[in-house]
Structure 1
Amino acid sequence: MSRVNRAERTIHPTASVSPDAHLGKDVRVGAFALIEAGATIGDDTIIEAGAIIYENVSIGQGSFVGAQCILGERQAGYLKSEGGGEPYENPPLSLGKNSVIRSGTIIYSGCTIGEAFQTGHRAIIREDSIFGDHCSFGTLSQCDGRVRIGNKCRFHNNVFIATYTTCEDNVHFYPMSCTVDSLHPPCQKGRQGPYLESGVIIGAKVLLLPRVRLGRNAVVAGASVVTHDIEPGMVVVGAPARAIKKREEVRCHLEDRPAYEVAFDEQLR
C-alpha cells in the first residue's frame, strides 16, 4: 500500500515508484523516472523525466531534480557485491531542502549535502562528500569524492575538486580550476588535497597542488599554479604563484575604488 494518498501527488503513468518509497505531499514524478524502495522524497518536490532515485536517498522538501539525474549512485563496493563479492549496502545520501539539481547530474551515495544546494547540468559529485548550506556546483564540474565543503561555497563550470580537498565557508572557484591530491601520480600513498580557509577566491584555470594551505581571504589570480602555502589576505599570481600584494590593496579600475571593500564572505551574506 502506498505511503501517502495518491491524490496528494502527481505520478506519470510510466514512472516506476516503489510502494516502499516515502513520498511527501504534492510530489510530482515525471515520465520514466525510477524511485526505489527506502527513498524519501520531501513535500513539494519535483522529480523530472528519467531521473533515478536509488534506495537510502533522502531529498528535502521543496527541491527540484532535473531530467536524467541519478541520486544515490552505487559505490564500487556495491558493484563488487553484485559480481559475487561480499554483500554491500549502499550508504545513504542526504540532500537538504530547497535544492535544485539540474539535468544530467550524478550524486553518489554516502554524501551529505545541506539545504539550498544547486548544481549546473551534468555535474558529478562522488561518494562520501560533505557540502554545507547554500552551495552551488556548476555545469560539468566534478567532485572526486571524500571532500569537505563548508557553507556558501561556489564552484563555477568545469571545476575539478580532487579527493580529500577541504574548503571552509565562502570559498569561490572560477571556471576550469583544478585541485590535485597526489604528489607523485599515480601513486596512491599519502593522498591529500589542498586546504582552503574561509573567503578564498580562486581565479579561472588555476591549479592547486596537493597539501597546500591557502589562508583566509587569499586571492589566486587566473592561470596560476599554487605550489606552496599562501598567507591570509595575500594576492598571488604566476607559475609558481608568488605574492604580489595584500588583498586590500587591489583596486577596481572601472570605479576607482578598492576591489574588496569588505571581506568576500561578507559580500555573500
Structure 2
Amino acid sequence: MNYISEKSKLGVNVSLGHFVVIKDDVTIGENCLIGNNVVIHEGTVIGNSVRIDDNTVIGKQPMRAVNSIFKDEKKLPSAKINDNCLIGAGVIIYCGCEIGKNTLVADLSTIRENVTIGEKTIIGRGVAVENFCKVGSNCKLETNVYLTAYSEVEDNVFIAPGVVTSNDNFAGRTKERFNHFKGVTVKKGGRIGAQATILPGKIIHEDGFVAAGSVVTKDVESAVIAVGNPAKVLRNVPENQLLKNQ
C-alpha cells in the first residue's frame, strides 16, 4: 500500500513501486519511475524522466546533535531533482539540496542539506557530500569519496575512490575551531587519485593532479602533479592531459 498526499502533484506516466510515501506539496514530473519503499518529503520537486530506486529518501530534514557545529534551525528550502536524473537505491538526499539535470547519484550515497550539484555529474556509490558544498557539472566523485562541509568542486573535476577531505585543523578540540572551519577547493579540471587526503582549506588549482595516496598539506598549483606525504611537485601535467586539449 502506498501513501500519496492529496496535496501532491504527479505528472503523467509516473510509475510507483510498493510502500511509497509521497508527502504534502511534492511535485513529480512526467515519465518518472519511483521504486519500492521510497519516501519523498514535503515540498520536494522532481523533474521529468527521473528514476529513483528502492529504499531512497528525498528531502529529509537534518537532525542536530547538542554539540553540532550547525546551529541554524531555520526551515530549509525543499529538495529539487532536475530532469533525467538517476538516483540509486538506499540514497539519502536532504532538503535544501538541488541536483542538476542528467546527474547520477549511485547507491548508498548521502547528500546533505545546502548542497548544489551540477549537470551530468556522477556521484558514485557510497559517496558522502556534507553540508554547504557545491559540486559543478561534468564531475566524477567515485566510490566512497568523502567531501567535507564547506567545500567547492568546480566543473570537470575527477576524484578517485576513497579520497578524504577535511575542514577542521583542531580535530574537534577547543572552541577556537569554530572560527576556522574551511573546506577544500578543487578548481576546474582538477584530479585527485585514489585514497588521497586533502587537509582543511587547501586548494587544488586548475588542472592540478594529486597522485594516489598523497597527503595535501599545501595548495597544489595549476597543471602540476603533486606526489607523496606531504605532497610535493613531481612534474607538470602532460600537455595532452590538460582539460583544454580534451
Which amino acid in structure 2 is aligned with residue 213 of structure 1? Answer: I
What is the aligned counterpart of 2:50 among 63, 80, 84? Answer: 63
CA deviation map 1:122-177 (0-9, x unaligned): 10001100111111111111011110111111100011000001111011110000
Query: How big is the shift at 1:182?
Result: 0.8
8 A contact 1:122–1:139 mirrored in 2: yes
Change (3 A) 1:47 1:261: same
Query: How big is the shift at 1:202?
Result: 0.5
8 A contact 2:223–2:242 mirrored in 1: no
The answer as to 2:77 corresponding to 1:91 is yes
CA deviation map 1:225-253 (0-9, x unaligned): 001011100001000000010001xxxxx
Which residue in the other structure is 1:257 paired with? none
Which amino acid in structure 2 is aligned with residue 108 of structure 1? Answer: Y
Which residue in the other structure is 1:39 paired with? 26
8 A contact 1:123–1:140 mirrored in 2: yes
The answer as to 2:187 corresponding to 1:197 is yes
3-state SS of paired residue (2:178): coil
8 A contact 1:51–1:66 mirrored in 2: yes
Which amino acid in structure 2 is aligned with residue 67 of structure 1? Answer: D
Which residue in the other structure is 2:11 paired with? 24
Which amino acid in structure 2 is aligned with residue 74 of structure 1? Answer: Q
CA deviation map 1:100-134 (0-9, x unaligned): 00000000000111101111111000110011111
3-state SS of paired residue (1:76): coil
Which has the higher Rg, Structure 1 or Structure 2?
1
Q: 2-side partners of 1:215 and 1:194: how far apart?
A: 11
Which residue in the other structure is 2:70 paired with? none
Query: How big is the shift at 1:90?
Result: 4.5
8 A contact 1:170–1:265 mirrored in 2: no
Q: 2-side partners of 1:90 and 1:184: how far apart?
A: 29
The worse-fitting range, judged by mean Cα deviation, of 187-196 and 169-178 is 187-196
The worse-fitting range, judged by mean Cα deviation, of 188-197 and 47-56 is 188-197
8 A contact 1:169–1:265 mirrored in 2: no
Which residue in the other structure is 1:6 paired with? none
TM-score (norm 2): 0.92
Which amino acid in structure 1 is aligned with residue 60 of structure 2? Answer: E
Change (3 A) 1:241 1:159: same
TM-score (norm 1): 0.84
Which residue in the other structure is 1:84 paired with? none
What is the aligned counterpart of 2:217 among 194, 206, 227? Answer: 227
3-state SS of paired residue (2:226): strand
Which residue in the other structure is 1:251 paired with? none
Mapping 1:95-134, distance limit 5 Å: 95-134=81-120
Q: 1-side partners of 2:33 and 2:24: how far apart?
A: 18
The answer as to 2:242 corresponding to 1:263 is yes
Which amino acid in structure 1 is aligned with residue 54 of structure 2? Answer: A
Change (3 A) 1:73 1:57: same
3-state SS of paired residue (1:223): coil
Query: How big is the shift at 1:91?
Result: 2.1
Query: How big is the shift at 1:88?
Result: 5.9
Which residue in the other structure is 1:246 paired with? 236
Query: How big is the shift at 1:211?
Result: 0.9
3-state SS of paired residue (2:240): coil
Mapping 1:155-170, distance limit 5 Å: 155-170=141-156
Give the alignment's Cα RMSD to 1 decimal.
Answer: 1.9
* Identical counterparts, % of pairs: 27
Query: How big is the shift at 1:65?
Result: 0.4
CA deviation map 1:70-115 (0-9, x unaligned): 00011237x99xxxxxx96452111110000000000000011110
Which residue in the other structure is 1:211 paired with? 201
